[in-house]
Structure 1
């Protein structure tokens, strides 16, 4: 990565709907890592799924019911979670909210 590509303004990213009441935009990525902002309307669900990437997520705002490998916990602003590769996971927005998801390696299907 050259220094000219080292700084990214998330506002330049384009929002893409993913599920009802859920949209995401890519904030930055390299082949080894990707950061994504995801917004949820109250009650919106990020369906249970799995992928081969490691995922770390941070709750920027709102409250979420997070399920990872059959275990569910409520997280609010300032909370975070990590998902190991291939574990089934998903979230439900208990109120309007926003997550920052980081993946390693990057999610090529998001590009």
Structure 2
């Protein structure tokens, strides 16, 4: 198991712009698990997509319209959702907000 760091402190990781106009920062990861924070402005969209990783997401701030496998719900701060492997999913920020996502295994495409 490769561990790059054990602890992540508030504001330590730098934001990286995403292709869809949002931003993300990788907080911590091993080969098996990764935690990533995503920031959205009001109206920001995480386009529908799928990946082989299992994803669990926590709404840390704001309100989001979340679609998973054709089902859409509005979630607010304190809510969460899970995306099984390869299901089509995406979000739309109804107000500025942040999601904290965990992926297993880690998303190699988010590193480097």
- TM-score under structure 1 normalisation? 0.92
User: Which of the pair is proportionally richer in strand?
Assistant: 1
- TM-score under structure 2 normalisation? 0.91
Q: Deviations over 1:65-102 (max 9, x none)?
A: 00000000000010000000000000000000000000
Aligned length: 111
Q: SS state of the match for residue 11, structure 2?
A: helix
Residue 14 of structure 2 corresponds to 14
User: Which of the pair is proportionally richer in helix?
Assistant: 1
Q: SS state of the match for residue 24, structure 1?
A: strand
Question: Does the 8 Å CA contact 1:39/1:99 hold for their aligned counterparts?
Answer: yes
Matches within 5 A, 1:63-78: 63-78=63-78
> CA-atom RMSD, angstroms?
1.9
CA distance in 2, matches of 1:108, 1:2: 12
The answer for unaligned runs of 5 or more in structure 2 is none
The answer for unaligned runs of 5 or more in structure 1 is none
Q: SS state of the match for residue 11, structure 1?
A: coil
